[in-house]
Structure 1
Amino acid sequence: MADTKREIERKYESDDSGLPDLTGVAGVAAVVDKGVAQLDAVYHDTTDERLAAASITLRRRTGGSDAGWHLKFPVAPGVRDEIRAPLSDSVPPELAGLVRSRVREAELVPVVRLRSDRDVRDLLDADGRLLAEVSVDSVRAERLTGGGGSAQWTEIEVELADDGDPVFLDTVEKRLRKAGVQPSKSASKLARALAETAPRGRKRRLPQRSAAEPVTAGDHVLAYVRAQRDAVVALDPAVRQDEDDSVHRMRVATRRTRSALRSYGKVLDRAATDPIGAELKWLAGELGVDRDREVLTERLTAALAEVPPTLVSGPVGSRLLTWANASRGGSRRRLIGVLDSERYVALLDALDALINEPPLLKAAAGKPDKVIAKAVRKDFGRLSGLVTEAIELSPGQDRDVAVHEARKQAKRTRYAAEAAVLALGDPAKALARSMKSLQGLLGDHQDSVMVRQTLREISAVAHAAGESSFTYGVLYGREEGRAAAVEAALPGAWQAITGTTDV
């Protein structure tokens, strides 16, 4: 079973002088010699080094105190999340899954072997607590693919203790710099090994960087689509590990992408993008199975907490809990199956192809402030018609449907405005904020509709079991009141938006 550790470290160049004296570093009461360990690590990647291009490392290491498989994801400069799995002959399936969005159908193969003699010192405070581990690593690198060469170097590594204060690393660095030690030019041993052992004339995938500043309307739209594609790929491991809010954020990225493809149909040919949009809708639906239930559960739980105890009749709380937990495990397994599927990988490949060889139309070459503004105004015009229709309808099912359609269009207009920020500046930012606010208002109404439907279902089950349905009626009535409040507030909210919109 894999476990995760936050790793905060800094690397420095080293020469024959070895490690400077650190006994005088502020906060350090003792420097303890832990001896020399022999480490042997084989790094795995695709033959075109896709993981290295994303600053991700996957290795199998023996020797030292943490032998096993280590998968490292970058978090910030000098900060990585290390996911560990027990030693085995092949890449553990759980780690292979975490890099699937990068690797796709390519094979993970050994690319570099690093053998290190690690001379370790522990920096301890006055109470004997570990502050940091400092090592001098004598490294020998050997390229295992592509006829590459070998290299060797020595470096100093300072790794902060678990739950340590990162400011302490600044204190250590100050002492090292005073002794003439300089930060390493490479972010990791693997990055240095790949650079120094690369076959002559071979072009490597460089670490991913931001695209050039967008110029045309097509550039702006593609920059937005690229950012959402990158978000989906980067969030994949977090979703697999069930990290908080990761499913929601990945779902939003898919919706933003689909919305941009629709809103900017004059820039990117919809004959080519509509099939991708259909697959994005499928993925968003799969991601939403648990998310929608979570939102309703939170609302129902909060609503029940507001009901006076004298109005709670029967095991309402346990009924809500049973409903909330229904099929949770099964849907979780289903989601992992979706991320492991060929259909999902094909979608990622299609997004790559869209970005690398975009189906640009004539308007793509136009000026962003004209082409993009026109698309945003078109979306806003559709929204205006839907909101007006919702306001004019009488309360009831038809109005509920109209408000729901207006909510979806507000979301689409918001995403179109977000994509337009680089081109249009503050007016687009203001519109995006207004749309987010309107989306929240209309979303509250839709949540009320869904909660009332859920209450009817749970109430029916409770009634069949011989339980009182009184409290469900109380909750239903309160939800009707919340929906009515939204409907009453909508005309004023819309008037305020139309009076300030300037796109």
Structure 2
Amino acid sequence: MGPDPAVEIERKFDVDDDAAVPLLHDLPGIGRVAQPVEYQLKAEYFDTEDFRLAARRITVRRRTGGEDAGWHLKIPVGPDERHEHHAPLGRKGDGVPASLLDLVRVHIRDRALVPVARLSTRRIVHHLHGEEGGILADLMDDRVRAEVLHPEQDSLHWREWEIELVDGSRDLLDAAQTRVTDAGARPATHSSKLERTLGPLLRTVTDARPAPTPDGPAADVLLAYLHEQLSALEQQDPQVRRDAPDAVHRMRVATRRARSALATYRSLLEDADAVRSLREELKWLAGVLGKARDAEVMHARLREMLAGEPADLVLGPVGRRVDLELGGDYRRAHAQVLKTLRGKRYFRLVDTFESLLTAPALTARAAEPAARLIPELLNRDIRRLRSAVHEARHHPAGLGDHPALHQARKDAKRLRYGAEAAAPVGRKKITRIADSALGIQKILGEHQDSVVTRDLLRRLGAAASQQGENGFTYGRLHALEQGAALRAEERFRKEWKYFPTALGTQ
């Protein structure tokens, strides 16, 4: 996994050219304010030609001068907070480092990053030291000259103050804000120097997702849920590239949720072929992610089983063989995930998903009240699940892997996500259906995990035998998994007896 980003917490202020920096030494917790230090900073900002990053308040720059010269990528995570990723300065013509490009690739896809602005800043830094000597915060007094490079050249200049926390608290930040605003500073109308430079050229991306209500259009339920899943995919994309814990799983879940919602509520969207195509692409992406996730899950499952075994029943280097086999599987699968996330097919998938939400083509039914139409669409999925369960109960899998059980698990998952999406309709029974479908999905998922794990244990046991190792423990774990599969199927049959009936419509 790559290094964690630095957390930048700061507030910006517009100030007049002749404003005087106020006294700061008596702020809470401040022991002294060091003599100001002056720097000359030069920065070049990069973006797509249509400012896709700046529109999301993301900045990529190459800066010389000051204490942190190099490449900086800043991604907003809150009103005052950004995550900042660094890369070495390198040579000027080298372009944006690949390590930073990967973290914004989901937004730019295969578009090029080009220089869009250059800034020269005369910065005077006031370090605010705590009573024990460490720096708690910095006040930066910046006089900026900015040059717009694209689409047409322009220039402007201004003065601003920034207060950035180092080891101080937000209480100190609040107190410093009060002090500088009393001195005539005004909270900045921009979130970054680049945003101020681009000005009217920039169209900030706003959260355009609808706010669904029971009496509002049924389409709002679907579109709000799809917005959530696209946001989740965009948030997890850079985390997957960094191999952050649980990121593959969360990204996979987002693709599955979107795909299920598009199936349950497909009658609300006009272009059936386009919806079908997007669902197939989401299925493909989930499949690529699934190979890495399955190796991860099976590794954790076997490690937990081994940890629960008495030491005298673990014969041979079982743990090491499990680690080598599944650790290797995960690394290979994750490498394939990275290759996929850098490919055109993935870029076009995200383009299509984004376009669907930007200009959705809706059917006439989409305008019907959610409280009336959504239960009808969910009932269709309930009937689908009941049919699959009927088939599965007449064809028990036992220790095997019957297709009917597979289908019931998939249909339970689809109903669960469809019911989750319908939460804004505000009916308790919809929540109960989502919870019940999740319960069925988990039980059948445990059965499937047992099937896959037993297959792996057979292979590992055979390989161990060929290496002259004792195969006893693999056989024992296999038997334990057999018991787990039988118990899961029995629990499924009992749980199903209490599954909710169909929803009434209004």
Structure 2 counterpart of 1:221, which letter? L
Structure 1 counterpart SS, 2:77: strand
Question: Which residue in the other structure is 1:92 paired with?
Answer: 97
**Local SS of the residue matching 1:244:** coil
Task: Tell me the secondary structure at the aligned position of residue 499 of structure 2.
Answer: helix
Are residue 172 (structure 1) and residue 176 (structure 2) matched? Answer: yes
Local SS of the residue matching 1:159: strand
Structure 2's unaligned 5+ residue stretches are none
Question: Unpaired segments of 5 or more residues in structure 1?
Answer: none
1:349 aligns with 2:351: yes
C-alpha distance in structure 1 between counterparts of 2:232 and 2:478, whole Å? 38
Deviation at 1:139, TM superposition (A): 1.5
CA contact (8 A) 1:85 1:92 kept: yes
Query: Which residue number corresponds to residue 186 of structure 2?
Result: 182
The alpha-carbon deviation at position 399 of structure 1 amounts to 6.4
CA contact (8 A) 2:461 2:474 kept: yes
Matched, 1:25 2:23: no
Match of 2:42 among 40, 43, 60: 40
Question: Which residues in structure 2 correspond to 1:95-110 (within 5 Å)?
Answer: 95-110=100-115
State the distance in 2 between where 1:361 and 1:182 align. Answer: 48
Shift of 1:245: 1.6
SS at match of 2:267: coil
Asked if structure 2 preserves the Cα contact closer than 8 Å seen for 1:48 and 1:205, the reply is no
2:14 is matched with 13
- Alpha-carbon distance change, 389 to 165 in structure 1, aligned in 2, over 3 angstroms: farther
Q: 1:3 to 1:299 in 2, by over 3 A?
A: closer
Aligned-pair CA distance for 1:93: 2.3
Indicate if the aligned counterparts of 1:45 and 1:58 stay in contact, CA closer than 8 A. Answer: yes
Task: Give 1:388 deviation, angstroms.
Answer: 3.5
Identical counterparts, % of pairs: 42
Give secondary structure in 1 for the equivalent of 2:223.
helix
**Partner residue of 2:62?**
60
**Deviations for 1:84-105, whole angstroms, at most 9, x for unmatched residues?**
1112322222222322221123
Query: Is the CA contact 2:127–2:137 (under 8 Å) kept in the aligned structure 1?
Result: yes
Once the two structures are TM-superposed, the CA of residue 227 in structure 1 deviates from its matched residue by: 2.6
Does the aligned pair in 1 maintain the 2:46–2:61 contact within 8 Å?
Answer: yes
Asked whether the equivalents of residues 34 and 120 of structure 1 are also in contact (C-alpha less than 8 Å), the reply is yes
CA RMSD of aligned residues (A): 2.3
Q: Distance in 1 between matches of 2:301 and 2:332?
A: 23
CA 1:281–1:500: 2 relative to 1, 3 Å: closer
Whichever residue aligns with residue 94 of structure 1, its letter is S
Q: Which moves more between the two structures, 114-123 or 384-393?
A: 384-393
Deviation digits for residues 96-141 of structure 1 (CA, Å, limit 9, x no counterpart): 2322221123221221222211110111112211111211111222
**Matched residues in 2 for 1:30 and 1:227: separation?**
47
User: What pairs up with 1:336-485 in 2 under 5 angstroms?
Assistant: 336-396=338-398, 400-485=402-487
Query: Separation in 1 of the partners of 2:3 and 2:64?
Result: 17
Q: Tell me, what secondary structure is at the counterpart of 1:19?
A: coil
Cα distance per residue 1:187-228 (max 9 Å; x no partner): 222222221xx4xxx6x3223223343542233322322332
Larger deviation, residues 174-183 vs 222-231? 174-183
3-state DSSP of counterpart to 2:203? coil
Per-residue deviation, residues 48-87 of structure 1 (Å, max 9, x unmatched): 1111111111111111111111111111111111111112
CA distance in 1, matches of 2:209, 2:37: 46
SS of residue matched to 2:33: strand
The answer to whether the Cα contact below 8 Å between 2:52 and 2:107 also exists between their aligned partners in 1 is yes
Is the 2:6–2:84 contact (alpha carbons within 8 Å) kept by the matching residues of 1?
Answer: yes
Amino acid at match of 2:485: A
Q: TM-score normalized by structure 2?
A: 0.91
CA distance in 1, matches of 2:164, 2:431: 41
Alpha-carbon contact 2:27-2:172 (below 8 Å) kept: no
**Aligned partners of 1:239 and 1:247 also within 8 Å:** yes
Task: Tell me by how many angstroms 1:359 deviates.
Answer: 4.3
Task: Answer whether contact 1:9 1:157 (CA < 8 A) is retained.
Answer: yes
CA 39–426 in structure 1, closer or farther in 2 if over 3 Å, else same: farther
Q: Secondary structure at the match of 1:47?
A: coil
Instruction: Tell me, yes or no, if structure 1 residue 159 matches structure 2 residue 160.
Output: no
State the Cα deviation string for residues 302-345 of structure 1 (Å, max 9, x = none).
Answer: 01111111211111111111112224443333222111111111
Cα distance, 1:156 vs structure 2? 1.4
Q: Is the 8 A contact 1:2 1:94 kept in 2?
A: no
Distance in structure 2 (CA, Å) of the matches to 1:400 and 1:368: 37
SS at match of 1:355: helix
> Is 301-310 or 346-355 further displaced after alignment?
346-355
Counterpart Cα distance in 2 of 1:266 and 1:424: 21
1: distance between equivalents of 2:343 and 2:162? 40
TM-score (norm 1): 0.92
Q: CA deviation at 1:291?
A: 1.0
Compared CA separation, residues 501 and 212, structure 1 to 2 (3 A): closer
Kindly tell me: are residues 168 and 112 of structure 1, through their superposed partners in 2, closer, same or farther at Cα, counting changes over 3 Å? Answer: same
Structure 1 segment 252-263 matched on structure 2, within 5 A: 252-263=253-264
Tell me how far apart the structure 2 counterparts of residues 467 and 368 of structure 1 sit (CA, whole Å).
62
AA partner of residue 14 (structure 1): V
Partner of residue 211, structure 2:
213
In structure 2, C-alpha distance between the alignment counterparts of 1:361 and 1:81, rounded to whole Å: 41
Distance 1:463 1:439 in 2: 36
Q: Structure 2 residue aligned with 1:315, among 292, 314, 317?
A: 317
Q: How many residues align structurally?
A: 496
CA contact (8 A) 1:52 1:191 kept: yes
Residue 119 of structure 1 is matched in structure 2 by 124
Q: CA offset at residue 356 of structure 1?
A: 3.4
Counterpart code for 1:153: W
Deviations 1:153-212 (A, max 9, x none): 2221111115x54343223334334445432222222222221xx4xxx6x322322334
Residue in 1 aligned with 2:140? 135
